[in-house]
């Protein structure tokens, strides 16, 4: 599958050449020949909410402001209508501080945490299902022609994954247009960056689709639902709890999306089947992008 240079649909696209995201490492291959390859950087980022240290996340280091905002939003630590008075990032200290006019204290919530199955070990503070009871996702229809178009565009987009691997991508989409493409060592970080961008820019969620290269886990479903996005899609597969939660909250969950094939395990009522799968080009067996583990 050929990589394209047309990134005109994107508001934010991956930048595989960005400073500090990768480094060149020398090794030897199976024939004992010295090779130089790009590997993804991984560095800590400590997130504060006002004066309270919340978490240290392992990340590739881009968009720290969006990551911090999105993490706090998806953890329920930033509330609807909160007045965010500042977001300050210190590159040398690798610290980002989010400040609000509301006084905050999440000491008790921080005591209750769950390690998730996300790569780079995601963490959810408090009850994982906290806040889902009141979630009502819009019944926005999604055309299968959009899904096929998005899959083709996203899988041809130049990315850190194609250059170095060992990374996950998450893409915010509207109809058949990919808008914001974020990458990170953990899929939870990538989706938090998108949540932070949406919060910062005041972008609505009801007509959006979230695409991820990784597994459709409980954490991914919960984050998507908490963001108010009604559709989550992936090239990869599902976990049983992820499917169960998607069915519970009415989220459309689509996985194993490759070429003309996909599987919908929740929210099928939103699908408008306006594309004939037989007319869709099948992916070659050795497509340029593989589903991330």
| Segment among 105-109, 245-249, 273-277 with least mean pLDDT | 105-109
Query: pLDDT-derived band of residue 3, with 50, 70 and 90 as boundaries?
Result: confident
Share of the chain above pLDDT 70, in %: 90
| Segment among 1-15, 53-67, 262-276 with least mean pLDDT | 1-15
- Please indicate whether residue 161 or residue 91 has the higher confidence score (pLDDT): 91
Mean pLDDT within 88-114: 88
Cα within 13 Å of Cα(194), Cβ side: 33
Mean pLDDT within 71-94: 94
Is residue 99 over pLDDT 80?
yes
**Residue-averaged pLDDT of the chain:** 89
Query: pLDDT-derived band of residue 45, with 50, 70 and 90 as boundaries?
Result: very high
Share of the chain above pLDDT 90, in %: 71
pLDDT at 122 (0 to 100): 53
pLDDT at 4 (0 to 100): 73
Q: What tens digit of pLDDT does each residue of 111-146 get?
A: 766 544 444 445 554 555 677 888 899 999 999 999
pLDDT at 84 (0 to 100): 97
pLDDT at 117 (0 to 100): 45
């Amino acid at each position: 599958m050929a990589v394209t240079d047309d990134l005109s649909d994107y508001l934010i696209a991956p930048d595989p050449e960005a400073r500090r995201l990768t480094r060149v490492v020398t090794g030897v291959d199976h024939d004992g020949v010295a090779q130089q390859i790009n590997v993804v950087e991984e560095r800590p980022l400590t997130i504060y909410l006002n004066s309270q240290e919340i978490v240290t996340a392992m990340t590739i280091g881009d968009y720290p402001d969006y990551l911090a905002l999105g993490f706090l939003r998806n953890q329920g630590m930033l509330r609807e209508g909160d007045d965010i008075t500042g977001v300050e990032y210190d590159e040398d200290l690798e610290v980002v501080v989010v400040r609000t006019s509301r006084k905050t204290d999440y000491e008790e919530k921080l005591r209750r945490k769950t390690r998730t199955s996300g790569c780079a070990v995601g963490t959810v503070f408090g009850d994982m299902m906290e806040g889902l009871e009141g979630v009502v996702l819009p019944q926005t229809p999604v055309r299968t022609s959009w899904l096929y178009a998005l899959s083709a565009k996203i899988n041809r987009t130049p990315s850190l994954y194609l250059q170095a691997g060992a990374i996950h991508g998450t893409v915010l989409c509207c109809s058949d247009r990919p808008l914001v493409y974020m990458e990170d060592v953990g899929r939870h970080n990538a989706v938090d960056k998108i949540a932070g961008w949406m919060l910062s820019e005041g972008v609505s969620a009801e007509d959006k689709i979230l695409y991820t290269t990784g597994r459709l886990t409980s954490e991914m479903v919960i984050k998507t639902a908490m963001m108010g996005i009604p559709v989550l899609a992936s090239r990869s597969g599902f976990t049983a709890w992820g499917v169960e939660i998607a069915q519970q909250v009415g989220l459309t969950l689509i996985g194993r999306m490759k070429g003309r094939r996909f599987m919908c395990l929740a929210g099928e009522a939103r699908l408008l089947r306006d594309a004939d799968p037989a007319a869709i080009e099948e992916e070659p067996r050795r497509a340029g992008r593989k589903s991330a583990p």
